[in-house]
Structure 1
Amino acid sequence: MVVEFTDNRNLINNCDIHIMEGLKYIFIISLLKIYVLAEDPIIDTTTGTIKGSTFSVQNVDIDVFLGIPFAKPPVGNLRFKRPEPIERWSGIKETKKHVSSCIQLVDAFDHIEGADSFKVNTNISEDCLYLNIWAPTEARKSHSNLATMIWIYGGALVSGSSTLDAYDGRFLAASQKIIVASLNYRVGPFGFLSLNDERAPGNMGLLDQTLAISWIRDNIASFGGDPDKLTLFGQSAGAISVSFHVMSPISRKIFRNAIIMSGIATTDWSIRSKEGNIERAKEMAAFLKCPTENDKVMLDCFLNADANNISMGQYYNFKNITEFPFAPIIDNYFLQEKPKEIVQNKKMKKDVMIGFLKNEGSLMIVIRYPEYFAPNTNVPVNKSVAHKMMRNLIEPKQLNSLQLESISHLYGSHVDTSSETEKYRYILDQVAGDIMFKCPTINFSKEFSTYSNVYMYSFEYRPKAMPWPEWMGVIHGSDVYFAFSQLLSDEKYSPEVKFVSKMLSSYFANFSKSGNPNNGDCSDCSSEPWSKYTPESQKYLVIDEKPRMASKETSLYSICSFWSDLLPQLKEPSCPVAGESQNDWTFQLKILTVSLDRCKLYLFLCFVSRPLILSSMPWTLEILNSVNILPIRIMEGLKYILIISLLKTLVHAEDPIIETTSGKINGSTVVVQNVELDVFLGIPFAKPPVGNLRFRRPEKIERWSGIKETKEHVAACAQHVSDMFDDIPGADLWKIKADIKEDCLYLNIWAPTEARKSRSNLTTMIWIYGGGFTSGSSTMDMYDGRWLAASQNIIVASLNYRVGPFGFLSLNDERAPGNMGLLDQNLAIKWIRDNIASFGGDPDKLTLFGESAGAVSVSMHVISPMSRNLFRNAIIMSGTYNADWAINSKEGNKDRAKEMAAFLKCPTESDKQMLDCFLNADAKNMSLGQFHNLNSFLSLPFLPIIDNYFLQAKPNKALQNKAIKKDVLMGFAKNEGSLFLLTSFPQYFLFQGTVPINNSISHKLMKKVIEPVQLNPAQLDSIFYVYGSNIYSSSETKKYRYVLDQVAGDTLFKCPTIEFSREWSTHSNVYIYSFDYRSTVSPWPEWMGSPHGSDIYYVFSRALYTTKSSSEDKEVSEMMSSYFANFSKSGNPNNGDCVDCSNEPWSKFTQQSQKYFAIDKKPKMENKYTSMYSYQVDHRIFGLFKEEY
């Protein structure tokens, strides 16, 4: 007990104390001794000086500080704002008792037995942001650098307080020689309301926690703690909060490890969209009689509403047990991605201890259905009632009758009771616990344990003195008492209870101190070490009076497989089923499939639309042993037939099924030159950009249930398809092989099968197609990645992105911000990075490669702060960011929009009116309308812009940013310009035949080619002289055709590439090539030489497997694809096997040597003194030529 004195320092001179009437004076010298021991601890913190108390707990002195303010009171205009740090106070602030709990509805759980232990024991107030610290006194005096455990309470984010007696940290601090801290945070709408208003941005409660953790970290050394040894621990919503801190870039660096008790942020109900929170706010507004016309007026009303009414109003029309009234959101501040994506992206490494309880669901069903399960109720629960409850529990999933029957059978088959009520009470308890806590915890751990240490437990101990009804078992939250060691100091508890409490608190403290629960003193711990959880072993500790390790062989893991793999595939019966009645489906639903070595057992049921083939599940053999009979009426006139066929499948041809961040996908297997490849075509990576999303930035695809078949191309993005090249031999390779539509955001992957099976961590090359930002598709046969993947033992991916106005329209309206096509690419690259490990790839070994507009796109990803950290290196083929044709101003794009509006008969008075019309226009008409009045040479309709989001700097400035380091391999074809002469001036440049071109015509065409530069006759003559002086031909047409080809190629592609390389090579490795090879079987006219895009055929290795290819074609293809693959794998094209490569190494391009690699049948290095460099007509030279020259 602490003895407190009020300014009694003169006691040493006046020791007379009147004890009681009848006694005179007694001198108590020992009192002075107690005073010295119990002197109030005073500590100077970053926010001011505080005074606490000292308590003795089992002969250990503990400094206790309660109610330390860490933030400004969130009142008035700060009610829904992010927390602000407390200002420093003067004097000494007394922190000896709890101050308040955050505003909440305190009688929400009054009907629940034992709820008193969860009730707040202080005033309820909005001024509630305080924290508490319990620290061994000796630690402060000796600067012991102890570990600190920081507690975050649960309460469904609507209730709770650090002031609860259950969370008193003195016992844990004393028994484990550790510092314990706890904190308050805002709950309900005060902590999680989110509107389109900076005064209520969302996640305020999580940011309250962050600010408190930061305060503790900044000050814990003064209490005897080590700021680098902080462990967060929390239960239920507190556990979800802890896991959010593990994931948040704002929080995860300010603590060392985490203990997560019965809750995880990856559950569907732990997070909500901003729109979902707004809908809930409108319900609350209806209760409060607040206007809902817009967020501002609604929030103005909330700011003036009574706090207690707000607490009540959050529950208005709210009935879903598996959601919070107001939940955390992705706010791009505290939380930047969905939790599941963060975990799968492996963005954080943090040791965690994580667990759940045996009967997590029992408390949930009492809360949700008190009329059936509250104490002293005896209302029967039959199958019909239970199934209704089950549907509510599993919202928003819509369960059909077959699924409900399968759940009841799976959970109820081992329940030994004649009481229907007891049976369904048990089933509902287990279902609620599994879907809300256990399975999300297991699924998180499977992924997280691939890159961090994970220790998992199941708490299964129930003491005899438990206040909750026996049927509730080991209920949600009952482990908290044991973790806080309070039971150790109470004589009423049995030795067994104290044993479990000592064991659990020791494990927690050991983990907090070292990251390993086995390190440290624990006389009551299991003799068997607590093994790490891994995806292979999936071991966890069962905490009971006889603790033991359990593994994935237990039924718990089977149950989670049932929820994720089997249940989504069960369909309603399409025919009557035999039984006691036509509607009685009580048959053994669990034997739908079983794996036997390399054989599959298929069960064909009439209500399954196709054979149901599932992955192996541990429980299937057990089930098979207990099968009686499965009577199914197949059709009228037949009796009962059970069709079980054991089919031996070709192991190599078995369809690959992969779990991705967005759901499961089922691909195909193909064999290319004896190499097996997994092929996945048409994987969706974004929401369909249709309707109001037509011109918006892409949004991530929502996770689908079941298995999505990805065996064929789905769509190409909306565009105008030209028939210009239909008659050219080989044009089929360039044709789109899918429907053209706006729902087009899909990607494709070709991966060696062995890479997936052996987790080879292969490099991945991601292809971005060209097409002038107006056309193109990943579905073209030319871009089939199987040949490159097989020949180079590499993974190849490709993607679709929106083109034309759908991808690049930009107006002064957030519904069409511009650069949507580039952001489509960015989102696809992220998806590939997040998932490529499941295909056998290494997410840190991604190479982007693209041609023409695809190459421009790649170079923009190299520059963009949103993309450049997603991949390792880049291959840029015939196109760069700094080319004049590659980018436009906002004004330029807007002018083009007005031309398109004229074609579509849309108003142009304002951007809003114009866009409203565009949103309702026919997609095909838009694809045509973008070209309206577009007559310039290679003037493209809609282009990327500097949007200060994806692109933040003009090309030349971006290239000079030496902070960006990215190795690039880049190049061009020998005759880049010829294709554009053919497409722009078809009246002169025919595919077959010749039209004469004289001096006058050539000058006219040259002016078009060089637009918008205005050339005078002197400048034109100089160009023709420089380019034509070495052409020995008596044909004017051939000479001018060659000059125009070279000028177009140099100005559009070659010179921008060299300029890019000169600047880029000062801070990164650059390799340049010129593709000079022309095949003897080229479909293009001879005058076109090696045209724009002709290198693609060789890069994708198609020539290796085409019978019409010559031996030279195959050598060039082997060389080209090997160089590209080598660069992708190592950053150096010379590293790796390449039998057909040049004996001369491919040298880096530098500003001094400016060497490049000429790829031909006899490849060789060239340097800046070759004619290719001499023919560059520098813009400065043009300025020297005057009209009178």
Structure 2
Amino acid sequence: MELKFNFCLLVSNWFCFISQVTCSNTARVVLSSQDRSDISLNTVVGTEKTFPNGKIVREFLGIPYAQPPIGEFRFRISFPYGSLGSYFNATSWRPACVQASRVEASNPSHEDCLYLNIWAPNDLYKFGAGYPILVAFISGGFDGTNQNNELFSGLNLAESQDIIVVTVSYRVGVFGFLRTDNHEIPGNFGLYDQKLALEWITANINDFGGDRSRITLLGNGASAATIGYLLLSNAIGNLFKWAIMHGGSPLSPWAYVEPKEAEQRAVKIASLVGCRANEAPEILASCLRSVESGKLLKASQRISESGYYQYLFAPTMDGVIIGQSPEILLRNGYNKKTEIMIGTTGYEGVHFYEQVFQDIRMVDASVTSKVKKMSYKLYQYAVSLLFGNPNPPRGTIASNMNPQNFVPSIIQELILYEYRNWESPYENATANYLSFRGIVQDKYYNCPIVAFAKAFASSGSGAYMFQLPYFQSGDTLSWSGNGYYDSANSKEVLDSGIQLVFGNSDNDNMLINAVMNAWGNMTKTGNPNSGSTLSSDTLNMFVWEKWNPYTRLRLVFRDPTAGEKRLRNYDISDVISTEVWDTSNKCAFWTQHIPMQIATEKENCDKYSQYTVQSANYPAV
């Protein structure tokens, strides 16, 4: 590595120290894995950031790891970018991938988006073999919130934890997961992007001071589910060692689409953009590759708004990177034998809440998604919309749902019965709202996540279970995708807590420091307890045990400054603690009781012959 030191640099660092600001200088890295017949080749130029404490982190932005997936390369598996040339300027952010994002990005989106960003400490020899690497795939949903801007800077995380942080953009939505009924457009492009990015990192990260044998993956929401697929895939090999998954699992109903269903959705897209689905495969693929990106995006949004509460495009079985359905892979023990961190937040599923509330407002315009209350009648109606209302109002999302996705009304009554708060009257609006929230969280998040953790616990590896807090302002939330807008602080807070840490500059926030330390420990050793303590002011005050189906312990992170019970004076015991998280009864309800009851109804009543068993696609817990 070549660094630039001169008198101006010394003066700059002195000024940075006395003024308590972060200063910038030039940093350079020569990639040894590429052609080095001339030492001037493949020089990546970034920026050195000097912190008030004297630490220096090198920042490299917008490094391409794949050929741009545009034109004839759209809807194809990504392939390497190749040589970066003699001089590559890595000092500016690149566009985010085209997406139906509910979180506005400060930079534009584009199909040419397969870039990664690197933040690396300057001291190459502190850890001998090199720094451990945390690779973050940031995408709250399969349709968007794939950001590539300063909101997700890894600068402070790299400085505080002495690790290398890499963020990776990958294709999402129709561009990342469209699949046709032939091999011309096989789907799962977003997963192949992630694989190629990991290959680039493995080949080059040593030149940035990294230890390629210690790569940990981090993801939130849909990207957590994609990491789950990488943990199950034989095609990935040893491209990473450990994983951290926030708010997602490949076993979540929204995280997998059966191949036939994926192909039917592609037919709908083709018809909306003027391509004939019955054409020869190569002709259909050529047509779809020629359509303007904005038109494809609008078509996918139109379909999503006319019959799908879940993501329209998501991973599917392709026989290569996903060999079988995720539940079969787990049942047969194909998961990578390693340690993972996996958990939830206190407010998973706002994506589904918002869509259901959109339909409710078609009936009652006075209802808003911000108010965390609903009458029992609206509670019943919300459940019917989520699981299939035979006669929903015209114009609602539910009015276009496939009848085969309906759950019989008698089964819906079982769901209402199971989740009703029997200590509260029917018209306890807050209790009704919490019951509906519990349904969404258990079916779509909690139970799939617990089932995934159980598989790792059973395989002899292990999973560290956790819960992060959510933030709110009074009694209202303005939901947006996998998060909500915190109007009090004028910032978007993602459901999974990823943005809670990325881009953070509040070094005195005890909660953020605890989360960062857990990530850092996991990245260094595969154990969130090791490497350093969870907080700088406690010495192993809590032992974070691996989750198992008997003790069911998880670590809970709390924000003592938020919510109704805000604390002015607090210590680490108010921020982290352990608790028993027993989901066995609720998860058995979804994985065993509901499928059995639906099967019974189908057998005994001809009028339900139109229905199919819509069981949760994850093993019993």
Query: SS in structure 2 opposite 1:488?
Result: coil
Query: What secondary structure does 2:301 align onto?
Result: coil
1:257 aligns with 2:252: no
Matches within 5 A, 1:508-547: 508-522=519-533, 524=535, 527-544=541-558, 545-547=574-576
Q: Distance in 1 between matches of 2:541 and 2:170?
A: 39
CA shift in 2, pair 1:476/1:360, >3 Å? farther
Is residue 49 of structure 2 the alignment partner of residue 55 of structure 1? yes
| 1:330 corresponds to which of 291, 297, 317 | 317
Match of 2:430 among 422, 426, 430: 422
Do the aligned residues in 2 keep the contact of 1:283 with 1:316 (CA within 8 Å)? no
Q: CA deviation at 1:232?
A: 0.4
CA contact (8 A) 1:162 1:182 kept: no
Rate the CA distance shift 1:430–1:337 in 2: closer, same or farther, 3 A.
Answer: same
**Residue 477 of structure 1: how far off its partner (Å):** 1.7
Contact 1:284 1:315 in 2 (8 A): no
1:176 positional shift:
1.1
- Select the residue among 458, 461, 469 that pairs with 1:450: 458
- Paired amino acid for 1:30: V
Whichever residue aligns with residue 201 of structure 1, its letter is P
The reply to whether residue 302 of structure 1 matches residue 295 of structure 2 is: no
1:43 equivalenced with 2:29 (yes/no): yes
Quick one: structure 1 residues 308 and 458, their matched pair in 2 at CA, closer, same or farther if it must change by over 3 Å?
same
**CA-CA distance at 1:279 after TM superposition:** 1.0
Match of 2:85 among 85, 90, 109: 90
TM-superposed CA distance for 1:535, in Å, is 2.9
Out of 499, 504, 512, the residue aligned to residue 510 of structure 2 is: 499
How far apart, CA to CA, are the structure 2 residues paired with 1:349 and 1:370? 42
- Identify if the C-alpha distance between structure 1 residues 289 and 469 changes in structure 2 by more than 3 Å, giving closer, same or farther: same
- Residue 588 of structure 2 corresponds to 561
Displacement of 1:204 in angstroms is 1.0
Query: Residues 143 and 225 of structure 1 are in contact (CA less than 8 Å); yes or no, is this contact kept in structure 2?
Result: no
Q: Report what 1:208 is aligned to.
A: 193
Contact 1:105-1:308 at 8 Å conserved across structures: no
Q: Tell me if structure 2 keeps the 8 A contact 1:188–1:326.
A: yes
Letter in 2 for 1:56: T
Do the aligned residues in 2 keep the contact of 1:281 with 1:314 (CA within 8 Å)? no
User: Helix, strand or coil for the counterpart of 2:552?
Assistant: coil
Contact 1:510/1:518 (8 A) holds in 2: yes
Q: How much has 1:414 moved relative to structure 2?
A: 5.4
Change (3 A) 1:252 1:424: farther
How far residue 375 of structure 1 moved from its aligned partner, in angstroms, is 5.6
Q: Which amino acid aligns with 1:69?
A: P
Cα offset for 1:65? 0.5
Partner of 1:314: 300
> Counterpart of 2:555 in structure 1: which amino acid?
L
Aligned to 2:215, which of 222, 230, 235?
230
Q: Distance in 2 between matches of 1:253 and 1:284?
A: 36
| Structure 1 residue 99 corresponds to structure 2 residue 85 | no
Cα separation, 2, equivalents of 1:161 and 1:523: 29
Deviations 1:415-446 (A, max 9, x none): 75775543332222221111111100111222
Question: Does 2:30 match 1:30?
Answer: no
Residue type matched to 1:86 in 2?
Answer: Y
Describe how 1:421-500 pairs up with structure 2 within 5 A. Answer: 421-463=429-471, 469=477, 477-484=495-502, 486=504, 488-489=506-507, 498-500=509-511
Determine the C-alpha separation between the residues in 2 that align with 1:276 and 1:418: 39
Question: Which of 41, 63, 72 is equivalent to 1:68?
Answer: 63
Q: Aligned-pair distance for 1:363?
A: 4.2
**Match for residue 162 of structure 2?**
177
Q: Is residue 387 from structure 1 mapped to residue 380 from structure 2 by the alignment?
A: yes
Evaluate the alpha carbon distance shift between residue 142 and residue 551 of structure 1 in structure 2; reply closer, same or farther with a 3 A threshold. Answer: closer
Contact 1:320 1:392 in 2 (8 A): no
Structure 1 residues 29 and 92: alpha-carbon distance in aligned structure 2, compared to 1, 3 A threshold: closer
Within the alignment, does 1:550 sit opposite 2:550 as a pair? no
Q: What aligned pairs does 1:602-613 form with structure 2 within 5 A after superposition?
A: none
**In the TM superposition, what is the alpha-carbon distance from 1:349 to its structure 2 partner?**
0.9
Distance 1:428 1:527 in 2: 36
Q: Is the 8 A contact 1:173 1:179 kept in 2?
A: yes
Q: 1:568 Cα shift?
A: 3.2
Alpha-carbon distance, 1:275 to partner: 2.1
Q: Tell me if structure 2 keeps the 8 A contact 1:175–1:485.
A: no
Cα distance change of structure 1 residues 296 and 420 upon mapping to structure 2, 3 Å threshold: farther
Q: Name stretches of at least 5 consecutive residues in structure 2 with no aligned partner.
A: 17-22, 35-41, 362-366, 389-403, 487-492, 559-573, 605-611
Residue 154 of structure 1 and its aligned partner are, at CA, apart by 1.8
Question: How many residues are treated as equivalent by the alignment?
Answer: 543
TM-fit CA distance, 1:142: 7.8
Paired letter, 1:522: T
Q: Name the residue aligned to 1:273.
A: 258
Greater Rg over alpha carbons, structure = 1
Q: Distance in 2 between matches of 1:356 and 1:189?
A: 27
| Residues 1005-1063 of structure 1, C-alpha deviations (whole Å, 9 max, x = no match) | xxxxxxxxxxxxxxxxxxxxxxxxxxxxxxxxxxxxxxxxxxxxxxxxxxxxxxxxxxx
* Residues 763-802 of structure 1: pairs in structure 2 closer than 5 A: none
Could you tell me which runs of 5 or more consecutive residues in structure 1 were left unpaired when the two chains were aligned. 13-27, 110-117, 490-494, 575-606, 610-701, 707-834, 839-1189
Q: Which amino acid aligns with 2:519?
A: F
Separation in 2, partners of 1:66, 1:412: 50
* Partner SS for 1:233: strand
* Separation in structure 1 between the aligned mates of residue 345 and residue 269 of structure 2, nearest angstrom: 34
Of 350, 355, 364, which aligns to 2:338? Answer: 350
2:72 maps to amino acid: N
Deviations 1:832-873 (A, max 9, x none): xxx9xx9xxxxxxxxxxxxxxxxxxxxxxxxxxxxxxxxxxx
CA distance in 2: counterparts of 1:320 and 1:65, whole angstroms: 42
So what's the TM-score if we normalise by structure 1?
0.42
| 1:341 alignment partner AA | I
Of all paired residues, the percent bearing the same amino acid is: 22
Structure 1 residue 341 corresponds to structure 2 residue 328: yes
The within-5 A match list for 1:142-157 is: 145-157=130-142
Distance 2:185 2:67 in 1: 16
1:370 is aligned to: 358
Other structure's SS at 2:510 match: helix
Which stretch of structure 1 is more off in the superposition, 367-376 or 175-184?
A: 367-376
Alignment partners' CA distance in 2, 1:134 and 1:502:
18
SS at structure 2 position matched to 1:537: coil
Q: TM-score, normalised by structure 2?
A: 0.78
Task: Give 1:190 shift.
Answer: 1.4
AA matched with 2:131: L
- Check the 8 A contact 1:447/1:535 in 2, yes or no: no
Letter in 1 for 2:331: Q
SS of equivalent residue, structure 1 residue 549: strand
What is the CA–CA distance in structure 2 between the aligned matches of 1:538 and 1:29, rounded to whole Å?
Answer: 53
Shift of 1:470: 9.1
Q: 3-state SS of the aligned residue for 2:270?
A: helix
1:30–1:363: structure 2 CA closer, same or farther, 3 Å change rule? same
What is the alpha-carbon distance in structure 1 between the residues aligned to residue 475 and residue 345 of structure 2?
17
Report the 3-state secondary structure (helix = DSSP H, G, I; strand = E; otherwise coil) of the residue aligned with 2:524. helix
Change beyond 3 A, Cα 1:550–1:271: same
Q: Where in structure 2 are the equivalents of 1:823-834 lying within 5 Å?
A: none
1:241 corresponds in structure 2 to: 226
Give 1:330's aligned amino acid.
M
The offset of 1:140, in angstroms, is 7.0
How far off is 1:125 after superposition?
1.2
Q: Distance in 2 between matches of 1:34 and 1:504?
A: 31
Residues 385 and 175 (structure 1), Cα distance of their counterparts in 2 relative to 1, 3 Å cut: same
Shift of 1:102: 1.1
